[in-house]
Amino acid sequence: MAKNLIVGAGFSGAVLANKIVTELNEEVLIIDVKPHVGGNCYDYWDKNGICVHKYGTHIFHTNLKNVWDYVSQFTKWYPYRHHVKGYIDGQEVPIPFNINSIHKIFPKSIADKLEQKLIEKFGFNVKVPILKLRGSGDKDLEFLADYVYDKVFLHYTLKQWGMKPEDLDPAVTGRVPVYISKDDRYFQDTYQGIPMEGYTKLIEKMLAHPKIQVKLNTNFQEIKDKVKYDRIFYTGPIDEFFNYELGELPYRSLEFDFVEFNKPYFQSNSVINYPNNYTFTRIGEYKYFLDNQSDKTVVSFEYPQAFKRGKNDRYYPIVKQENLALYNRYLEKAKQTPNVYFLGRLGDYKYYDMDKAVARALELFESIKK
């Protein structure tokens, strides 16, 4: 009998397992329905020596020093700074749309005027959510807002989420701002990087302890009545834990088409978005992340799709008021379920970046340690 059962061997579960065995000296059984640890951060080295992210591109970035210091115990970092380009009107321009994007797209006279007005209205090195920019009251800025909204934001959002931007929660739409800056980095966080040996090796090091037992290809629903434990940490879907008693929480899913090309590089950047062309949203090229050298390259074409239980995987909670209301009803049930703790993107029904998932696990551990 393990004192602690952890469902899910991604970042959330691995952090908790590591903290429990190293600080509380208690045994942990960690299970995952997947055939590997790492959750959706899982990566592997292919025959060409390229580190491929099986579930799409993952970049670790954070302003939380405690999170960076904790994770850095298990990896050395390649100091990668993420850049994203968007294919817009035949040009590859920086995303988020910024001053450099403006000057690449528009004639100089128009670009200079827009740059000046943006800085006068909002300041410099400021991120302005696209929906806020549309209501600025200045006809030139409204022209820019309409252009960015249509060319960068609207069609990408329709593909990614299957709905218009205004139908989503502002927390989601705010992730795609106009950046009044010449900083082309996608993230401005203090700490950014890719694990030198990959995310899978990082997670494996977290779980490398004699008091941690890992069981893969294991479905919680099938073993929950066969395993004894004092408490459970559940990073799976909260609605599934309760057998969908109150209804099913909606998610978006993804399909990846991995293609190997017999040339050193396929595209000019690690990630290029296609808001207005094709049915895929973006192409990721993996050798950029760790600067892998090879005569061949591997890319993934990313196709968003509706989540269908039993058909594909959950990726993104759809953050809308009615969905959050349903989640909160499940949360009330969770509070009445003793010795069960929910966390992670699926357990908390939140759009967590990796660092926030780590922070949440660290905070939960501190609360149970007392």
Calculate ∠ Cα 52-58-61, nearest 5°.
140
Q: Write the DSSP symbol of residue 336.
A: T
Structure confidence at residue 130 (pLDDT): 74
**Per-residue pLDDT band at 132 (split at 50, 70, 90):** confident
Instruction: Give the number of other Cβ atoms within 10 Å of residue 106's Cβ.
Output: 17
pLDDT in tens, 6-29: 999 999 999 999 999 999 999 999
Structure confidence at residue 4 (pLDDT): 95
**Per-residue pLDDT band at 137 (split at 50, 70, 90):** confident
Mean pLDDT across the stretch 310-318?
93
Residue whose tokens read 């357990």: 347
pLDDT in tens, 334-352: 999 999 999 999 999 998 9
Mean pLDDT across the stretch 38-57?
97
Structure confidence at residue 135 (pLDDT): 81
Q: CA 157, CA 222: separation in Å to the nearest integer?
A: 37
pLDDT in tens, 173-223: 555 688 999 999 999 999 999 999 999 999 999 999 999 999 999 999 888
**Looking at the predicted structure, is the pLDDT value of residue 131 above 80?**
no
Structure confidence at residue 153 (pLDDT): 87
Structure confidence at residue 176 (pLDDT): 64
Percent of the chain with pLDDT over 90: 85
Mean pLDDT across the stretch 98-103?
97
**Per-residue pLDDT band at 330 (split at 50, 70, 90):** very high
pTM of the shown model: 0.93
**Looking at the predicted structure, is the pLDDT value of residue 104 above 90?**
yes
pLDDT in tens, 227-264: 889 999 999 999 999 999 999 999 999 999 999 999 99
**Per-residue pLDDT band at 316 (split at 50, 70, 90):** very high
**Per-residue pLDDT band at 1 (split at 50, 70, 90):** low
**Looking at the predicted structure, is the pLDDT value of residue 149 above 90?**
no
Structure confidence at residue 171 (pLDDT): 63
**Looking at the predicted structure, is the pLDDT value of residue 276 above 70?**
yes
Residue ranges of domains in the chain, CATH in brackets: 4-81+194-248+317-369 (3.40.50.720), 84-180 (no CATH)
In the chain, the DSSP E strands lie at 4-7, 28-31, 43-45, 51-53, 60-62, 77-78, 84-88, 91-95, 126-129, 177-180, 191-195, 212-215, 231-234, 251-261, 271-273, 282-285, 297-306, 316-317, 340-342
Mean pLDDT across the stretch 78-91?
97
